[in-house]
Structure 1
Amino acid sequence: MSMGGMGGMSGMGHMSMGTGVPDPFYLQKMYWAVVGSAIGAAAVVNLFNWFLAHQRMRDSTYTPAEPKSLFFVFCATVTALVREASYVALPPLSLKGRTVHFAPLGPVAIILANIVTLMVLCFDKLDTKDQWKWEDVGYRTGFITIAQLPLVFLLAGRQNIIGYLAGMGYERLNWFHRWVSRTLWLTATIHMGFWFRDWGQYDYITYQLKNNALAKRGFAAWIILSFIVISSAAPVRKISYEIFVLQHLIIFVGFIVAVWLHAPNEVKVWVWISIGLLIFDRVARYAWATYANLSIFHRSANPKHPLWVNHASFTPLPGNVTRIKIENPGISWRPGQHVFLTCHSVVPLQCHPFTIVSLPEDKKMEFFVRAAKGGTRRFFHYATKNHQILGSGETSPQKGKRTVFIDGPYGMHRPLRQFDSVVLLAGGMGATFIIPCLRDIVTAWKGESQQPGSKTRRAVTKRIRFVWVIKSRAHLSWFDLQLQRALAAVDECRCSQPDLMREIEMSIYITCDEALEPSTIDRTICSQAQTATPSIAETHDEKGATSQKDNVKVQPVSSSSSNKPATSCLPSGGCCCTNRVENEDEITEQHRCTCSGHAAVPASPVIENNTDEKTASEAPPMQNTIPIFSGRPQPRTIIRKVLEKAEGESAVVVCGPRGLSDDVRRSVVSLSDERAVHKGTGAQGIYLHVESFRW
């Protein structure tokens, strides 16, 4: 046996481990053959989805989203079966006041398949009970471990090659990046464990770590990797995102250096590939950022700043929210995408991901940012200092504007225009993702109505169902104008093309309101019992928010839940409704929500556009109403009603707190099974997109 330990690894790649035992270099190629096949399959599916969307846009029938041939019926059926299985997730688990959420079965299955592949490659045709084979296991697991490095970097980059091929945003692949890093740690631990097991027979572990340079470098690499894995856990990341990113980058550089010093020359190519991928990501990002931010590539919106093209204004809104607006930005984007925004004059040396609320047609890039802690809170403090009236929208000339830098846009999902019916559900600030998706479909409808003779459709969608869950009535002011414009645009489409189906239905649910005026409340009595319904309201603390009379008028009308409602009193005296509105169409006046002397949310008012003089000219000419309910929606009921009318594949999109996302996911799985799309034509298939940006 070699007492040199890992020092003899440099020549091991060409040594025989026994008759019929695969060569380590061959196993490295086999691993990447499996990975490449998985990426290739995802690329084929993405290409087919693109072709399907293109075909639907050119379909002149009344039901373009419905499969028309045996081949597409088969594809729809297989897709429905795969989706139904991949969307399933275990119910949340509560442990000592903390709720543990589980990933869906689809991503979990991919990670499990990766682990199984790695274990087979590590131990195939090697007898782990034979002490004379422990060195061989140590060598092979080392080769398999270092072969995984490029995949870790491929999944981490923002300019993501896998993402472009598979049609997935880097923020979704980041989950796979973390788990592949953990499997990297697992095989590295097995690699180190078998060497320790081999040395331990002769009490050589301490000696090797003190005298063998290769062993010391390998052990240092394992220590660094272990720290990276621990510090990347969700509870640690949430302590401070900025600190996490900084230490993650610095420590990972140290890990790469340690691996390069430890690895034999024959396998250093995997380290160089990883470094090359990192450099590619950075060069691509900086090159694009240079184009997006330098005015030499664009016509600058501000002649006083000839170098930089992007200048933002900051406006405080109710609920500790900052509206950041960039006029005439240097880039375009798609609905639902986000950028990393940096403003060194307000928050030095930090960049934060913010979802773009506006559309490119608006000729402005707009963000709504919740003030949580760190940089987002400093944005809100800066905005309040430059505005005398909270949410007034008025800024001092050039005083409130600051030069900002943007990196992006990022984020991918299937275009929603290709689906027959679309259900959009938002919780709190999740509306920043949902509103652009809604407006994009309505804009397509409007454009199609203005060009009735076009052979290509702009949108297949016939129905939109929009639900927004918020805490306070004051939050309606964030998007009331956008919603009114969407309703007015749909009315115009109906007038110009009455023969085409264009339906839109909106509902707003208010769960907690600490600042309602008694004159607007229809006081009644309701149960004081607490329920176990998981919260789907916003999780951010809003204490200290400056209240403002928003630009909406609330008119109470009869409404409530058919179930027994329940409320819980907030320390500040507000009301938090936990009742579920099972069916909006069966609302009665029997149960309304109040809270033992405290102001309660209106039972079911409607929101009307009531803009002030500054925005009256921009307001839609028609007065549309949006029903508002006290309590929480029942996603299953809402989605089911849409599916009953659907005449083709539908989409369900949700963005909000984890409780809402889990509820919607369970509802989609249940309805997919209930409607048995896999037994019929597949026309009732459901595409689910759960948007989240959780690090």
Structure 2
Amino acid sequence: MPSQKRRSRLSTPGCIETAVAFFTALSLLSVPRLWGCRITVLPLGKIFSLAALACIVSALVVSVDAPRFSDHFIDDVAFRAAWITIAQVPLVYLLATKRGPLNIIAALSYERVNWIHRWSGRMLFLSATTHMGIMMRSIDVSDIIRSPDKVMIVVRYGVASYGTLAWIALTSALPVRRWSYRAFYLNHWASTSVLLWVLFNHVPRSARAPIYASTAIVAFDRLFHYYALVRNNVCIRVVKRRLSKFRKGPSRKAITVGLPVKMTAPTLASPTPESTTVIRICNVPFSWTPGQHVRLYLPELGCCEVHPFTPATCSQPAVSPALPDDVENDRLLSPTTPATAESPLPNEMVLLVRSHSGLTRRLAEYCSTWLSRPCPNASCPSSSLTAYIDGPYGTPPAWEAYSTLVLVATSTGVSFSLSIMDWLAQLCTLDPTRLGVKRIHFVWSVRHLEPQFEASVADMLVRHATTLRDAGVDVTAVFYATCPEANQAVIEGEEVVIEGGEEEYMEELDYTPKHDFDEVEELHGFDSQESFDSRASSSTLIDEEAPRGSFWSQFEPRTVSSPSTREQGCTCSFVRSQLQSNSKTSSGLVARVYGSRPHLPSMLNSAARARGRESVMVAVCSSADVVAESRNEVAKMNLAFVAGKRDAGVDIFSEGFS
């Protein structure tokens, strides 16, 4: 009887949920910093997985029948390492696919398994090095070069295989990828193809099954990849005829290749050039879910550049069959169907593009040139860009199934949060019974003031939040502008100087510094996008190394803003002074904090209530340090749930490339 009671107690859902929360918390925790430096961006869960993989590979390499540390044992280890190496080749190629069997059957997106692909490739290189190092002890280099023997020909292919593998490992290093991702991508594809060919000639026929499997995986991935490209970018549309109002008969249909890209005209006058470009891709013929990303190709701006972006909108339920009239088609927008970033046409994809270098810089220059051109009715009409989209990619969770959503984003990562808001707002109209969300906490942190960018984000957020509030969802939003030059807030027309962080700001408003979303007064002003290094990735999938110390340490407010301490080129103070008179309210929804950064621990604990069996999801789209800090806080919450200090665990979903 006691044993049966023990089994029933262990089989209860509470015990299972507690065990899952405990292991989830351990997998989310980050490695502590050593002397202020981050050792690795991988959480403990991934480190344990890699350690298990390394132990398995090492055990398989040394598990031979020969006596340990004898000459025969060393030779057996060399041959065993060769077999282990060739057996790992299909795994490495399987993890490298975007539309391969693993992605389709297991519903795993490629960016979620990229880290396993890189580390399994390193394991393969280590086992190949073991084989190569031992075998070269008994082979003369001159025989490899000059001997016409068939055995030496096979050895030459083996040396070529190892040389190709070493070249792949060398050119896949992070500095090389950051220097030129295009060069890395082209070299990687060419080198991996050559590797399969030289391995095919090196291994005996009885060991070629992994080579055939790897070739089949690559062919399967390429086949579905090209099929998806054709499906996304080649379609039949109704084309409007000239003087169609005076003609009778059916409309003409034509096959169109590519999708039209439209620039968004600014609604606010900015005293300084903005570094964020808002573009619209019209009549997208496929659907995507919130949190997914696409890979954008603009051949007119970069023949070999493909960039990942997260759409700021969600696919609409209906697609307009005809191309919309637009100023870029040498026509004026119809007054009854205006198309802007804040009010997109059906199934339009809105992208927020941060200008850094390469394609994104050329896109910003194209937009500036387009804005400087005369009216389309003048003698110099504008021309449209054509985009090709690869995707969508990603397997986000069912956002509508959670009771509380905490959306945290920095810079253009706000498009990730806006797409979720758009999807939930659509559910309010299409299928309200599916919407289980009761509270949404929207947090956006930016660096420098950029009025048009902030206005576009605020307008989209207010439109979605209004629909959600009408459906009974509690929505709160806080915008942070962390630039020290923007630490003057305007409250109902009165200027208040904030000479410190968020604590002083709360005291100025007679609030206790609890960082509660419900206790922040609304401030009216403009904030902008975070200023990253010009060499960093420009997508909303932020891929960059953070500086030393915490990510937020670069946003620490300063009490004195003398000319010597101001950031070079910063015009936030000037922008604020010019735009204070034009600031507008956001229906009491958006609270704005200037000269301070969000305190993630207090913010997450305030949003995710400790009491109550409510499901909570924390969605983060930011740099590696912000994601790591959010994971640590969620891990602490789950450990608190295991200890009985919380009534439910907390889930987290992060978007970003490591």
Shorter chain as denominator, the TM-score bin is 0.7 to 0.9
Letter in 2 for 1:432: S
CA contact (8 A) 1:91 1:102 kept: no
**Which of 181, 192, 198 lines up with 2:132 in the alignment?**
192
What is the SS of the residue equivalent to 1:134?
helix
Q: 1:649 to 1:373 in 2, by over 3 A?
A: same
Cross-structure match for 1:115: 54
**Which of 488, 510, 531 lines up with 2:481 in the alignment?**
510
Q: 1:263 to 1:138 in 2, by over 3 A?
A: same
**Which of 185, 188, 213 lines up with 1:273 in the alignment?**
213
The alpha carbon displacement at 1:306 in A equals 3.8
Cross-structure match for 1:369: 353
CA contact (8 A) 1:445 1:490 kept: yes
**Which of 598, 601, 611 lines up with 1:636 in the alignment?**
601
Q: 1:236 to 1:73 in 2, by over 3 A?
A: same
**Which of 446, 451, 461 lines up with 1:470 in the alignment?**
446
Give distance in 1, aligned partners of 2:602 and 2:581.
21
CA contact (8 A) 2:619 2:654 kept: yes
CA contact (8 A) 1:423 1:639 kept: yes
Task: Say whether 1:411 aligns with 2:394.
Answer: yes
Q: Deviations over 1:551-608 (max 9, x none)?
A: xxxxxxxxxxxxx9535759797579xxxxxxxxxxxxxxxxx99x966979xx9997
Give distance in 2, aligned partners of 1:301 and 1:91.
62
Q: Deviations over 1:102-125 (max 9, x none)?
A: 201112222221111111111113
RMSD: 3.8
The alpha carbon displacement at 1:687 in A equals 1.1
What is the SS of the residue equivalent to 2:372?
coil
Cross-structure match for 2:19: 78
Task: Say whether 1:340 aligns with 2:276.
Answer: no
Q: Deviations over 1:642-681 (max 9, x none)?
A: 22265322111111122222221221122222x2x22459
Unaligned segments of structure 2, at least 5 residues: 1-9, 242-251, 267-272, 317-345, 502-527, 536-555
**Which of 393, 407, 414 lines up with 1:431 in the alignment?**
414
CA contact (8 A) 1:224 1:255 kept: yes
The alpha carbon displacement at 1:487 in A equals 2.3
What is the SS of the residue equivalent to 1:684?
coil
What is the SS of the residue equivalent to 1:347?
coil
The alpha carbon displacement at 1:524 in A equals 3.4
Task: Say whether 1:327 aligns with 2:282.
Answer: yes
Cross-structure match for 1:237: 177
Letter in 2 for 1:636: P
Task: Say whether 1:686 aligns with 2:656.
Answer: no
Q: 1:548-563 counterparts in 2 under 5 A? A: none
The alpha carbon displacement at 1:517 in A equals 9.8
Q: 1:285-364 counterparts in 2 under 5 A? A: 285-296=225-236, 306-308=255-257, 310-315=259-264, 319-361=274-316, 362-364=346-348
The alpha carbon displacement at 1:467 in A equals 0.4
What is the SS of the residue equivalent to 1:413?
coil
Give distance in 2, aligned partners of 1:151 and 1:301.
50
CA contact (8 A) 2:448 2:531 kept: no
Give distance in 1, aligned partners of 2:423 and 2:378.
29
CA contact (8 A) 1:155 1:174 kept: yes
CA contact (8 A) 2:376 2:382 kept: no
Q: Deviations over 1:619-645 (max 9, x none)?
A: xxx833311112111111111112226
CA contact (8 A) 1:371 1:377 kept: yes
- More displaced, 433-442 or 149-158? 433-442
CA contact (8 A) 1:511 1:537 kept: no
Q: 1:158 to 1:422 in 2, by over 3 A?
A: same
The alpha carbon displacement at 1:279 in A equals 0.8
CA contact (8 A) 2:405 2:617 kept: yes
CA contact (8 A) 2:293 2:394 kept: yes
Give distance in 2, aligned partners of 1:518 and 1:393.
40
Letter in 1 for 2:436: V
**Which of 637, 646, 651 lines up with 1:671 in the alignment?**
637
* Fraction of identical pairs, as percent: 25
Q: Deviations over 1:124-181 (max 9, x none)?
A: 1344511122222111111110111111111111114323444431112111111111
Give distance in 2, aligned partners of 1:395 and 1:487.
40
Cross-structure match for 2:588: 624
- More displaced, 331-340 or 166-175? 166-175
What is the SS of the residue equivalent to 2:257?
coil
CA contact (8 A) 2:297 2:307 kept: yes
Q: Deviations over 1:67-91 (max 9, x none)?
A: xx97543332222012101001113
Letter in 2 for 1:109: F
Unaligned segments of structure 1, at least 5 residues: 1-68, 450-456, 495-501, 529-535, 544-563, 577-593, 611-621
What is the SS of the residue equivalent to 2:356?
coil
Cross-structure match for 1:222: 162
Q: 1:218 to 1:300 in 2, by over 3 A?
A: farther
Give distance in 1, aligned partners of 2:205 and 2:23.
43
Cross-structure match for 2:460: 482
Cross-structure match for 1:383: 367
The alpha carbon displacement at 1:183 in A equals 0.6
**Which of 417, 433, 436 lines up with 1:460 in the alignment?**
436
Cross-structure match for 2:43: 104
Aligned pair count reads 544
